[in-house]
Amino acid sequence: MKNRSLLLKILSAVLVFGAWEVAGRIPVSYAFPTFLESMSSLLRMTLDGSIFVAYAETLKPLIVGVAISTVLGIGLGLWIGLSEKFEWLFSPIFIVMQAAPLAALIPLLVMAYGIGLTSKVFVVCIMAMPVIVLNTSGAVRNTPESLKEMGRSFMAKDHHVLLKIIIPAASPVIFSGLRLGVSAGFIGAILAELKITPTGVGDIISYSRSIADYPSMYAAIFSIILLAVLFLNLLEKIENILFEGNDRGYVTD
């Protein structure tokens, strides 16, 4: 069973990359390189180290932003889920944040915080935080009443109910919010580099496009997608370690 699902994953990868190779060879567009060209570009950038220099720049706002969004987002989400007053106060902010077209807000952020790291971290947070907050608060509010009642009937103190019942019960939805939030954070990090100042991976993408080095452009895009997938897998591993009973299998790995 385990082998078979691995086989299916490899088959799916071969199909996608094969289609990419074929589309690149036709070619569907002058600006669309083949899979092999892109991979050789990626290999070249890896060997000369330029991809690592780029990621050192890109990962700064990404990691800071995702870390802030995770800690603050889960904290606020728990609070909003537990307190009705707090929900009225803060929930609208995150709903507006989630609905706002971010690209249109970037000029405002640049005016307020300049073109440095601060603005980029803001972009990542605006992308990542709302879904984390809203998922966490929704999950907390939907804790089964009978589980809380069970806790109280066995004389649980309030912090026991929170730590041993509410948070584990909410954890699958909190983690699905984290997965969505982290993916959005990746989008935010690249968007910031394309829209604010071209640095890191965003710089490789826009520079290679401007000199028509399409294989490098696609290699950069491919690498960021790969990184995002690996990160989501890591997140799932963390979830399975923290909350053993949640493990019913997801499709991301």
Residues that bind another protein (CB under 8 A): 144, 146-147, 149-157, 160, 164-165, 168-169, 171, 243-246
Residue 142 Cβ, how far from another protein at the closest point, in Å?
Answer: 14
Shortest distance, CB of residue 144 to another protein, whole angstroms?
8
Which C-beta is closer to another protein: that of 9 or that of 157?
Answer: 157
- 118 vs 246, which CB is nearer to another protein? 246
Which is closer to another protein, CB of 77 or CB of 151?
151
Tokens of 64: 């800071």
Going from the C-alpha of 123 to that of each of 69, 141, 201, 244, the distances in angstroms are 11, 28, 16, 33
**Whole-angstrom distance, CA of residue 125 vs CA of residue 62:** 9
Q: Are 178 and 70 within 8 A, CB to CB?
A: yes
CB of 249 to another protein, least distance (A): 13
Strand runs labelled E in 15-135: none
Smallest separation, CB 162 to another protein (Å) = 13
C-alpha dihedral over 130, 136, 140, 142, to 10 degrees? 80
Radius of gyration from C-alpha coordinates of the chain: 22
Q: Name which of 44 and 148 has its Cβ closer to another protein.
A: 148
Minimum distance from residue 145 beta carbon to another protein (Å): 9
Residue 99, both tokens: 């609905």
Residue type, 15: L
Nearer to another protein, 48 or 149 (CB): 149
Q: Which residues contact 56 (CB under 8 A, 6 or more apart)?
A: 200
